[in-house]
Structure 1
Amino acid sequence: MRLKDKIAVVTGAGSGFGEGIASRFAREGARVLVADINKEAAERVAAEIGGTPAHVDVSNGASVAAMLEWVQAELGVPDILVNNAGITHLPTPMEEVAEEMFDRVFAVNCKSVYLTARAIVPKFKARGSGVILNIASTAGVSPRPRLNWYNASKGWMNTATKAMAVELAPFGIRVNALNPVAGDTPLLPSFLGEDTPEMRAKFLSTIPLGRFSTPEDLANAALYMCSDEASMITGVCMEVDGGRCI
């Protein structure tokens, strides 16, 4: 019960890493807002873990503000915010990625961090505490070819994490990030281009521990980073990657 009585908002919690994090937080005693652009997925996960569902488009400022105002009215001011929602473009030569896709990747992966911060940081400052965890990627640490703009968006998240941590530390607010290697989640086929045994084997050959990350791996790391056990840790972008970035 390491998060007993904490209020946690997890975006992109309708599947994959976000679902794993939301589920683990609930088991550890948190009251979890399961936020996702897929309303049905958010409702399913919330029902399974005893959380509260929320339909949100994290790339839209009005949607984000409405979600955080609603959760404050329903549950109280959050203690924890996990910026997990993210998308990628298919493996493509950088100059061939459509402008609309570029804009969408940066809106979901980067602008969302700004929008949630704009809405929640004043509440954290007023209380003198709060935890923000950004889910970035090994792509932002050790980029892969043909995922150029996704790589760049996750590198942005890592830099934003450190900048946020330095600025917000005097207010008692911690900000960290996790850099997972690709997991066997709904996004995996987008990273691979084509989800075949051969492509999986090729990808796995770059991970020293020899397996993809799992929602449980990310949930375990997120739990520590967001718990009071990590009260001295801020500005850290921790790799959860089986040695991929060594």
Structure 2
Amino acid sequence: MNDNAEPKVSIIIPHYKTESLVKLCLRSIRFFTQLPYEVVVIDNGSGDDPSLDYLRQVDWIKLIERTGNINPAPDGAHKEAMDIGISESSAPYILSFHTDTIPVHEKWLDWLLEQINTDPKASAVGTYKLEIKSPWQLLFRKIERALMIRRKPEAGTKDNPYYIRSHCALYRRKILEKLNLHFVSNETAGRNIHFGLINSGFEAKLLSVEEMLRYVVHLNHGTMVLQPDLGARKKTIRKGKSRIDTFFKSVSIKNIYQDESLDR
């Protein structure tokens, strides 16, 4: 990456007390990304947690430390952080990202830009969920999608549950600004933006989960797994910790995680 070039993409990352995840996330971005980009990390009141000390010494990110007026609900704080990060960034494309989303391919950001630029009406690309499913889960999802297509649900209604979520979603800034679309809403992060775009005549393109997973890995519920006080179920925590531990054991992932030079 050329640090002096104008960024093409602003990567916005809310954060709360996840030192190992945010360290791997940022170092993987640094290791795998060639296009000019900027990263804005918004800390939602981590206080004296070691993760905040780490973020303060990463010299290529813009760190915003929130210390007050933070929504006590985790999803509310997350959406607030996304809007703050967007307002503090400048690139023509905005990428909403989570600390538990990890790039694993050198063309990950190029690929996302290709997906949004194949159609001039496409103003957002991403997936509904981004996780590896069992064969039975995959079969159920195919059946569910076929039924949804047959019913032809109207965009923006409760009959259409699929929308681009915020774990790895790319947006055109000028369209979000034109339509005055923000993450803060009464809906799950990204849903109001997805259907706001569609109802205004733009396209919000749902990508193949299987193809997306070639480029990034999502350690689902990572923050809630590492911070049980946020209210995750015991089963979610147990399965999540096992998934995170297994991922970190990969030699290539371990090498990136331990490479402190990527912080500079």
Name the TM-score class by shorter chain.
0.3 to 0.5
Higher relative contact order (CA 8 A, sep 6+): 2
**TM-score when scaled to structure 1?**
0.38
Greater helix content: 1
Q: Radius of gyration: which is bigger?
A: 2
**TM-score when scaled to structure 2?**
0.36
